[in-house]
Amino acid sequence: MNKSNNLDLRNMKIALTFTFVTTVLLSACVQRDNNVKDHNIEKTMKKIEWQSLYINPIELIGEDWMLITAGTDSSFNMMTASWGTIGHLWGKPVAIVFIRPQRYTFEFVEREPHFTLSFFDEKYREALNICGSKSGRDIDKVKATGLTPMVTENSIAFREANMIIECRKIYGQFLQGENFNDTTIVKKNYAKGDFHKMYVGEIVNIWRK
């Protein structure tokens, strides 16, 4: 076999190897997307109206905690929160959450028009601990917690949740130190001046198991 044939054979092997590797990588990317897209909320949960929502919001948020999530099926982040409320404002059912600007989830909530609140049984407490103490900049929270992301109508939530509330942002504003009547709150919680931003979200969807 002459040099030309050897060169052609080597080029063919390189091309086949490149094609194989590219195919594997693309398949992996598609699989990652499908892992989210295949878990559709309508397959696992039932949509209810807010009028049917009977909860103790102080216990639900303050003691049981929640995951605030925003983003798309290809890029999202979540964080644990125990501050917030659910109520009625401006003629709308609303959820109000508070996020510090240094949290990675802040970028996603700022960018996206919707966010979700996911609530869990006690057995997922450790997953909530991880999402509250670790940053999505440093670890893969989905891998670390074992939670299964799934698409909602407008955002992302988690299959393991027993209730999911989806909100459309309608107002946002940073808390301001001079507006606190109880200044001990500022001294205790904002010594670094890193005030939360408050987001008011109109409740547009609720799902329960």
Encode pLDDT of 96-146 as tens digits.
999 999 999 999 999 999 999 999 999 999 999 999 999 999 999 999 999
Is the backbone of residue 71 left (phi > 0), alpha (psi -120 to 50) or beta? left
Question: What confidence score (pLDDT) does residue 15 get?
Answer: 45
Confidence band of 42 (pLDDT split at 50, 70, 90)? confident
- CA 76 to CA 78: how far, in whole Å? 7
Q: Is the confidence at residue 25, as pLDDT, over 80?
A: no
Question: What confidence score (pLDDT) does residue 6 get?
Answer: 53
Name the helix (H) or strand (E) containing 106: helix 104-111
- Residue type for 89, please? L
Q: Distance of alpha carbon 204 from its chain centroid, rounded?
A: 17
Q: Tell me the CA distances in angstroms from 199 to 11, 74, 169, one per residue in order.
A: 58, 23, 7
Bridge partners, residue 77, by sequence: 70
Q: How many CB atoms lie within 10 A of CB 29?
A: 11
Instruction: Check residues 31 and 148 and name the one with the higher pLDDT.
Output: 148
Confidence band of 38 (pLDDT split at 50, 70, 90)? low
Question: What confidence score (pLDDT) does residue 33 get?
Answer: 42
> Mean pLDDT, to the nearest integer, of 200-209?
97
Least confident of 29-38, 137-146, 163-172, 196-205: 29-38
> Mean pLDDT, to the nearest integer, of 53-75?
95
pTM of the predicted model as reported, rounded to 2 decimal places? 0.81
What's the pLDDT tens digit per position in 53-62? 999 999 999 9
Confidence band of 43 (pLDDT split at 50, 70, 90)? confident
